[in-house]
Each structure stands twice: as C-alpha cells, then as structure tokens.
Amino acid sequence: MVYRIQFSPKIHQSKIIVQPPKRSVDIVVISDVHLGTYGCHAKELLFYLKSIKPKTVILNGDIIDIWQFSKRYWPKSHMKVIKQIMHWMTKKVKIYYITGNHDEMLRKFSGFKMGSFKIVDKLVLPVADEKKAWFFHGDVFDVTMQHSKWLARLGAVGYDLLILINRFINFISEKLLNKGKLSLSKKIKNSVKSAVKFINSFEQTAADIAIANSYDYVVCGHIHQPEMREITNEQGSVVYLNSGDWIENLTALEYTDGKWSIYKFDAADMIHVKQHIEETEPSNSQLFEELLAGFNLMRAT
C-alpha cells in the first residue's frame, strides 16, 4: 500500500490518500467507451485505468463518441479519462488508437504519431511465443454500417436512450423493490434471433479471416459482447477475443505472462476504495489546462 500526503492550502491541513498498488499488465485492450454519451461509465473506467500499470494500451475504437458528441454534456469524469491516457503518453507507454465507427472521423489521421501514441485502422502485434495478434474494431463486418449509416446513427441514439431508461428501471429495482440489476439491451440481444445470428456471424467471419492470415489471436470490439473462445474451421483455429464495452458490461482484455483474460469491473472494489481515497475535484477548465500542459510537454520532447 502506498501513502501520499496532500496539503490543502485553503484549510491549512493535510490529508492522507491511500493508493492501492497497481497491477502490471503487458497489454490492455479497451473499446466502446463512448465518452460524451450518457451511457458511458467513465468513473468506473477511470478507477480501472488507475489500478493498472500497462506496457501497451490498445484503444480499440469508439472511445470518443463523435457521432453523438455535444458541448452540453462532457462531465469531469470523461475529461479525467482523457487526462489519464495523456498521463500514460508522458510516461512513454505505447498507446495505439484503433479507429471505430463512432470515431471514424479520426480515420483521416490514420498513421498519425506523437511520441508513444499512434492512430491506426488495424494493428498486428507479436506477443509471447512468436504468436501474432490481429486487432481491429470490427465495424467493417457490419452491413448496416456499410450501406445505411443514417440507420446506424439512428440506432446509436436509440441505444443511448435505452441505456438511460435502463438506469431508471434499475434504480427502482434496487432502491424500491430490493432486486438486482437487469440489462434491457442484453435481453434484446439474447432473445432476438437476428441479433444472436449477427453476433455469431461476426465472430465466425473475424475468425475465418484471422485463420486465413495465420494469426493466433483476433481481437475485436464493436458488438459490446465480451468473449474469449477458440473458433475453428476447415483450415485451422484461432482464439477470438472481444473486449466488450464500458456502457453495459464494463469489461476489458488483459494480456499478462503469455495469457489473455477478461477483466470485469466489480462495483464492490470501487466502494472499498472510496472509503479510503479522497480526491479533489478540479473544474473542467483546470483539467483542460492540465491536458494542454501535458500536450505541450510531449510536443517539446
């Protein structure tokens, strides 16, 4: 356990902030965060990001939701996630931003590099035992994205509304009825045959292409469905992985000591940490100034 003493100039007294030790992770994969939307669990994500010490970070698409971005909604927690990523950049942690459909505007800057940060459309990385992992967001397999983007955008707005309704229902379920949480979108995905068929087709298509290219792992996002399993066809097999999302599942992929695993956020962890950690709450303007200072530092170096 690490202790840090912070002094408050306004009240002239000190407070002890307890910082739990960070876990070392070789590769962390995060996707479908959708910063800038009401459904994003930025506080939970920030807790997770601060709990690890990664060597390589792969942001596998839809990190910032440019489709639904609005100046009226950008909470401090969303800004803090960006600040944490920039903090890693100043520490020279390798960061790959793989573009997705909700942040497809960044595809204009594919190949852009600043320090340890790089924007790409897809990525192939060697991992332990001379194995290769293929990373991409996955929207290229979505027929709706290819032919009816207006319908996909309309669906994104509907999905965000469904998440808000879901939160209201869960509040009533937990506070008034003493029952657990439920996920409306998961129920829809699992009950509608076309949705189940799409997910299965998505996973099989990604696996088939990976096998044809002799990749050992194929890592996707996009469908908000965390998964880790071996998929085979007549040509061979591949390990298919999906990092899920930070809207419903609150999951990420971790690669450490030659093994992949799915991280699932546990609300109990955050409650426990909240009992010991007291954080100051800077304004958005202060956070922006800190981000700008970090950017200038990276540009200078």
Q: What are the tens digits of pLDDT across the range 131-180?
A: 999 999 998 875 444 444 444 454 455 556 656 666 655 656 555 656 66
Sign of the C-alpha dihedral computed for residues 187, 191, 194 and 198 taken in this order = positive
Is residue 218 predicted with pLDDT exceeding 60? Answer: yes
- Measured CA to CA, the distance from residue 125 to residue 261 in angstroms comes to 17
Entry pTM: 0.75
Is residue 249 predicted with pLDDT exceeding 70? Answer: yes
- Nearest Cα neighbor of 218 from 246, 189, 240 is 240
Q: Which domains does the chain have, with CATH numbers?
A: 21-300 (3.60.21.10)
Q: What are the tens digits of pLDDT across the range 10-44?
A: 444 444 445 568 999 999 999 999 999 888 999 99
- Measured CA to CA, the distance from residue 222 to residue 39 in angstroms comes to 15
> Please, what's the b/e burial string for 243-253 (b: 16 or more CB within 10 A of its CB; e: otherwise)?
bbbbbbbbbbb
What pLDDT shows up at residue 174?
59
- Measured CA to CA, the distance from residue 50 to residue 261 in angstroms comes to 18
What pLDDT shows up at residue 65?
87
| Residue 9: band (very low, low, confident or very high) from pLDDT cuts 50, 70, 90 | very low
Averaged pLDDT for residues 184-211: 73
Comparing 1-15, 49-63, 77-91, 276-290, the range with the smallest average pLDDT is 1-15
Q: What are the tens digits of pLDDT across the range 234-243?
A: 999 999 999 9
- Nearest Cα neighbor of 36 from 86, 98, 82, 101 is 82
> Please, what's the b/e burial string for 124-154 (b: 16 or more CB within 10 A of its CB; e: otherwise)?
ebebeeeeebbbbbbbebbeebeeeeeebbe
- Nearest Cα neighbor of 41 from 5, 94, 77, 73 is 77
How big is the CA angle at 161 (ends 75 and 67), to the nearest 5 degrees?
Answer: 65
Q: 3-state SS of 200-265?
A: HHHHHHHHHHHHHCCCCEEEECCCCCCEEEEEEECCEEEEEEECCCCCCCCEEEEEECCEEEEEEC
> Please, what's the b/e burial string for 187-215 (b: 16 or more CB within 10 A of its CB; e: otherwise)?
eebeeeeeeeebbeebbeebbbbbbeeeb
Is residue 233 predicted with pLDDT exceeding 80? Answer: yes
